[in-house]
Amino acid sequence: MSALLDAWQHRPTQRRVWNLAAPMILSNLSVPLVALVDSAVVGHLPHAHQLAAVAVGGSLYTLLTWAMGFLRMGTTGFAAQAAGRADGGALRQILLQGLLLGGGLALLLILLALPFASLALSLMQPSAALDALARDYFQIRLFGLPAALASYALIGWLLGTQNARGPLAILLTCNLLNVALDLLFVLVLQWGVAGAAWASVIAEWSGALLGLYLARQTLRGYAGRIDWAALRRWLHWRPLLAVNRDIFIRTLALQAVFFLITVQGTRLGDATVAANALLLNGLLLTAHALDGLAHAVEALCGHALGAGDRPALRRSLIVAGAWSLLASLGFALFFLLAGHWFIALQTDIAPVRATALAYLPYLALLPLIAVSSYLLDGLFIGATRAREMRDAMLLALLPSLALGWWLQPLGNHGLWLAFLAFMALRSLCLGGYAVRLSRQDRWFATPASLARHPAT
């Protein structure tokens, strides 16, 4: 107990945790701003299909960029460990690899995007006017795809170097510029839906260029140079690709759970699926906030592992873990005591409100059950142990699907119980892997599948 108290009272660690967590929380909470502003601005145009086109085209584009989110997480751990070793050469090579990987994936996705959009729109069967505008919006947004993926890699890399203000600057610049250009292009210049798309493209490129500038400034503090010959050898790409592959599989499994909740909720009626969506917005809010502390864990634990600093690793986990637990308790109490206000803020449709209030206790439990999985994700990302993250997610997914099928007679209660079980199993599986690695003293040993990042 005294060791826990000593770690909690360690002021430098407290300061480092919040220097990273506070900007990342603000960054995370700014993310929904773009979609909100697009909807609000285009919603003032005269035709409903114009707003629908932004919603549909934006959803298709978001699906492409979301699927590439591993570029951020996969870069952070390697960068944090290289920074912990003060290895400037590795930092430069990791950054370049992340940018090249993002650029290559962007080109591949652009080639696949047009047939993908055609297939998706044919399944939706929109009106002719909506179909044409959605295609135009989506095709314009593709010009910003390389910048969006580059920003993922830059944000992950900057976070790994314990520069959380950089990601905040990138996201705020991108989002605020998008707001200003939306107003200019759509309302002043009357460019319509195309104006909203071009506003996003310019904002994305501005964010990426700012990220490159910030990365260059950060590298001035690390001596070293890029090993260009290493970039031509597969051995030097395999670790980063392996981590990204495992994070991608893990993320697909997680999104499959949310997709199945929507599908199953739809079968239970319009009011139920709408109520579940409102409740999941509460989870989204919680996750965005708690992920800020998880991002701090990624950077601090990766740095400690790279430096071989066991006390720093322990202190970082204890401080961030304690704050995460306190924050999750605060969210639980908020949803339990003021959840009716949260629901009323989102809708005034009486049946949806009544349905959401009936299932509000499940939302109040979620932060307490999910908090450890967020924290442990940060630890495993910082340690570049994505295989364990992937396996823990799959181990949690399979029994949860079986439980959801078995609890179908309970209706939406069964669906929420299965979801809570999934989040609990995810935490338990990650915790089991963490305990096993601790007992075997393997946190400071490089993952066997990765050997050691050859760039070092």
Q: Quick check: helix, strand or coil at residue 164?
A: coil
Distance, CA of 456 to CA of 453 (rounded, Å): 6
Distance, CA of 122 to CA of 242 (rounded, Å): 35
188 DSSP 8-state letter? I
pLDDT at 63: 74
User: What is the end-to-end Cα distance of the chain in Å, rounded?
Assistant: 38
The CA–CA distances, whole Å, from 418 to 133, 183, 404 equal: 39, 44, 5
Domain definitions of the chain by residue range? 1-15+233-456, 31-232
Helical pair 412-439 and 238-267, crossing angle rounded to 10 deg = 160
CB 108 within 8 A of CB 167: no
The closest alpha carbon to 54, from 140, 134, 119, 120, belongs to 134
Distance, CA of 384 to CA of 298 (rounded, Å): 9
Distance, CA of 312 to CA of 83 (rounded, Å): 14
CB 16 within 8 A of CB 170: no
Asked whether the whole model's pTM tops 0.75, one would answer yes
pLDDT at 36: 54
Amino acid identity of residue 361, one-letter, is: P
Which residues contact residue 38 at a Cβ distance below 8 angstroms, ignoring those fewer than 6 apart?
A: 54, 58, 178, 182, 196, 200
CB atoms within 10 A of CB 153: 29
CB 378 within 8 A of CB 159: no
Total number of residues shown for the chain = 456
The closest alpha carbon to 408, from 268, 262, 235, 226, belongs to 268
In this structure, what is the dihedral angle of CA atoms 273, 278, 280, 286, given to the nearest 10 degrees? 180
The closest alpha carbon to 214, from 151, 121, 120, 290, belongs to 151
Residue 34: CA count within 13 A, CB half-sphere: 24
- Which residues of the chain register pLDDT less than 50? 448-456
Distance, CA of 297 to CA of 354 (rounded, Å): 39
pLDDT at 450: 46
The closest alpha carbon to 295, from 392, 163, 427, belongs to 163
Q: What are phi and psi of 334, to 5 degrees?
A: -60, -50
pLDDT at 101: 93
Distance, CA of 361 to CA of 369 (rounded, Å): 13
CA 204 to chain CA mean position, Å:
17
The closest alpha carbon to 303, from 379, 197, 216, 392, belongs to 379
pLDDT at 275: 80
Which residues contact residue 269 at a Cβ distance below 8 angstroms, ignoring those fewer than 6 apart?
A: none
Q: To 5 degrees, how large is the angle CA 208–CA 243–CA 16? A: 65
Q: Tell me the pLDDT tens digit for each residue of 138-187.
A: 899 999 999 999 999 999 999 999 888 899 899 889 888 988 998 899 88
R_g (Cα) of the chain, nearest Å: 22
pLDDT at 444: 82
**Residue whose pair of structure tokens reads 């204890």 in the numeric block:** 318
The CA–CA distances, whole Å, from 372 to 21, 56, 153, 274, 440 equal: 16, 35, 26, 28, 21
CB 431 within 8 A of CB 376: yes
